[in-house]
Amino acid sequence: MADIETDVVVVGAGPAGSTFARIAAQHGLDVVVFDKRKEIGNPVRCGEGLGVAEVMKEGLDLPRYTYSIEIYGAKVVGPKGQEIILRNENTRGWVLERKYFDKWLAELAIGKGAKVYAYHRAFDVKRDADGITLYVADGDEKVKEIRAKMLISAEGMEALIARKLGFPTVHRLYDVDTCYQYEMEPYDHENLIELYFGNEIAPRGYVWIFPKAHKRANVGIGIGAHLATGNKRGGLPGATPKVFLDKFIVNDVQLKEASSLLNFGGVISVGEPINKFVDDRVMVIGTAAKQVDPIHGGGIELAMEAGVMAAEAAAKAFEKSDMSKDFLYNNYEAVWRSTRGKEIETRLKLRKALESLSDDDLNHIFDTLSGDDVLAVMEGKLAGPIAKVLKGRPSLLKVLKPLMLG
């Protein structure tokens, strides 16, 4: 006899899991969510940027305590220091306080009737013809058995339960950026997210400065993990994200005088989504499915969006009593791939083109493009900006060609 019986069990109470739980519970399903962290939303492993689109689409109103400041747009900086300002209606957003934002999303789910357990680590899973059994260990390592008709993996980067269910959630080194971040103070800013590019600055990645309230800022870096060389492995000494970030900071007029309040790091996915999101009685959503923007590594919006899609699919599945892989595919995975999936594909090609550019090429692009051009690129309208770049530097045709074909 199981300790808990429910319609749906969700692994992970991040933005994906809590959004799923909220919508599924709203549809009348019994939903139980487990998160291994002692406190939902903590520790924070994120740059904390969120764009306006998803929140608007869902009609959510962020309470003041869930974010640090509002953002109007972005400042993108090239290797030589060229600045391009991106600012319009769609570039608005927030730098969140993830600790409170994630808790708020979980509370919304609880408000709709979902049950959330923090400090419960899912460690094993078994599936049979009639349902799924998930094994979780609480803070005292006491094991509980959860019996559900459906399981949602919203586990984030590691996705151990999804892995045990046969989903290819292991990341290739080439497809992750290894990241380091400080919270620093004081930093004067213009309510713009700042992104710095260049092979000397951050090979196959970028440095970000996400401003926060009270002159604080998240100052972080991501570099291609395949280019990082742990010096303990006997390779190039010092090619770690922290070393690159520290170099950036001592060269920055403001930051070199600033203090650091918090250090942390992590690994983010910049590769393609996994090749299947569903199986019988199972859906994988958010970062666990590698639904992450390949350019900037952001995953909150995509996670919330997939949470909504999967919850709608779950509601239909329970209505029709059909938890089959095919049903879940048609109602969640196919919908995602034909909409957001297309956009991610284009952005992955863009990432691959960008990473093959030298600083000289990057400088040419930064000197050539305007803010409107870059905004067009971000929206997937590549033809105009590419033509502009090629006009001054036809040699880039080879690199940019894959982008023009689709």
Positions that interact with other proteins (CB under 8 A): 36, 43, 45, 121, 141, 156-160, 163, 169-173, 176, 178-180, 225-226, 228-233, 240-242, 263-267
Give 169 or 291: the residue with its C-beta nearer to other proteins: 169
Least separation in angstroms between CB 258 and other proteins: 20
Least separation in angstroms between CB 161 and other proteins: 11
How far, in Å, CA of 78 to CA of 389, rounded? 15
Give 43 or 81: the residue with its C-beta nearer to other proteins: 43
Q: What is the DSSP letter of 223?
A: E
Least separation in angstroms between CB 226 and other proteins: 7
Residues 14-49 as b or e (16 or more Cβ within 10 Å = b): bbbbbbbbbbbbbbebbbbbbbbbeebbeebbbbbb
Listed as own residue / partner, the contacts of 376-382 with beta carbons closer than 8 Å and 24 or more positions apart are 377/350, 378/86, 379/90, 380/343, 380/346, 380/347, 382/346, 382/350
DSSP SS3 for 20: helix
Give 51 or 273: the residue with its C-beta nearer to other proteins: 273
Tokens for 216, please give them: 């604080």
For the chain, give the number of residues. 406
Least separation in angstroms between CB 227 and other proteins: 9
Give 22 or 296: the residue with its C-beta nearer to other proteins: 296
Count CB atoms within 10 A of the CB of residue 280. Answer: 15
Least separation in angstroms between CB 157 and other proteins: 4
Task: Name the one residue in this structure whose structure tokens are 């497809």.
Answer: 175
Give 63 or 168: the residue with its C-beta nearer to other proteins: 168
Least separation in angstroms between CB 246 and other proteins: 12
Give 159 or 313: the residue with its C-beta nearer to other proteins: 159
Give 271 or 341: the residue with its C-beta nearer to other proteins: 271
Least separation in angstroms between CB 39 and other proteins: 12
Give CA separation, 158 vs 212, 226, 230, 288, in Å.
28, 18, 21, 7
Task: Name the one residue in this structure whose structure tokens are 């993830």.
Answer: 98
How far, in Å, CA of 283 to CA of 276, rounded? 9
